[in-house]
Amino acid sequence: MIQVAFNISPLKTGHKTRGVGTYTKNLLNALQKRSDVQVEEFENLSAVGSADIIHYPWFDLFFHTLPFKKKFPTVVTIFDVIPLVFPKQHPLGTKGKINLFLQRLSLSGCKQIITDSLASQKDITIYLQQKVDKIKVIPLAADGHFKVLSGAKLIGIKNKYHLPDRFILYVGDANYTKNLPVLIESFNKLRLQGFEDLRLVLVGGVFLKKVDNINHAEIESLKSVNKLISQGNFEEFIIRPGQVDTEELVGFYNLATVYVQPSLYEGFGLPILEAMSCGCPVISSMTSSLPEVAGKAAVFFDPESSGQLVKVLQEVLIDKSLRIKLSKLGLQQASKFSWEGVVDETIKAYHQALEI
């Protein structure tokens, strides 16, 4: 039996409602169900008396979250290094540069690095100067709550949020790499081409934030999205419900006509799997990790081409048989990813770390 000390800090901070928190919660729950692993939760390393493995389920590029001294063999999960891939949108101050340097040094003492895609594995070798054979790729999975639903529960969610019969769904953040201006522009073009009943639903707490008076490089993308919506008078056609709980989010995926992931870049792209698990047809940009996740179960487009997105949206919205096909293919693709698989591969990473 392996004794694992598992850092739960992401469950105590703002990360808990983001992808890092979801990963930490789901992996921790899955590990605790295993008979071959004994898990001790910790926030401060000094509280850990004994362990075979220490696991930090997140890695912050610009804060010193990973200690230099490794009390025990250490495994760390790095989801992506997107701020280093797009440095103009994530400018570093002096403190950020110092912390990035310190984090790189700390990383060199880890036995294993876990990441969620081949795209992220490649980035980690380039931007964090880590050897590829030290980085284990373990794809994520959708939470078990995400599944096909029907009946009164869906009607209740539809009525509560005043959702139309046909809508495009997007779930996530509004930073630069999410590429939301292209999605909004494409939606407006569709609406002007005869899809007057169509609506766009943007799910995420970020879409209700008031940021007009905040000057920060990472806020600029959200400000540009808000400006695009207000200047185009799209408010009545774009629904922004804010952050919704998991059960309601499952309903959104089930009710949506199509889910669109317009990103310029993703470390993984979990909403694609969530949508597919709910039988929602998926349209995705053809970049970074997204083809790995979606496989042959999505319609792809160039994220820098609004015209191409409009074209594929028209095809999917008009062709019911195509939507049915994508729904079936999506369910099959999503079934290839499971938290049982994630925990199996994670335990293998622990064993590999102990052998090094």
Average pLDDT (103-111) is 94
Average pLDDT (217-238) is 76
Give the pLDDT of residue 13: 81
Give the pLDDT of residue 214: 58
Give the pLDDT of residue 226: 78
CA distance 334 to 285: 18
Q: Which of 14-18, 135-139, 154-158, 346-350 has the lowest mean pLDDT?
A: 14-18
Average pLDDT (266-277) is 96
Per-range mean pLDDT, top range of 13-27, 222-236, 291-305: 291-305
Spatial contact of 227 and 197, defined as CB atoms under 8 Å apart: no
CA distance 17 to 14: 6
Give the pLDDT of residue 228: 80
Per-range mean pLDDT, top range of 13-27, 147-161, 216-230, 297-311: 297-311
Buried b (16+ CB within 10 A) or exposed e, 24-47: bbbbbebbeebeebebeebeebee
CATH class of domain segment(s) 2-141+338-355: alpha beta
Give the pLDDT of residue 215: 62
Write phi, then psi, for 129 (nearest 5 degrees).
50, 45
Average pLDDT (260-273) is 96
Give the pLDDT of residue 211: 65
Residues of the chain with CATH 3.40.50.2000: 2-141+338-355, 152-334
Average pLDDT, the chain: 92
- CATH no. of 152-334: 3.40.50.2000
Q: What is the share, in percent, of the chain residues with pLDDT greater than 70? A: 97
In 3D space, the residue among 197, 190, 158 whose CA is nearest the CA of residue 316 turns out to be 190
Confidence of residue 338 (pLDDT cuts 50, 70, 90): very high
Average pLDDT (139-151) is 92
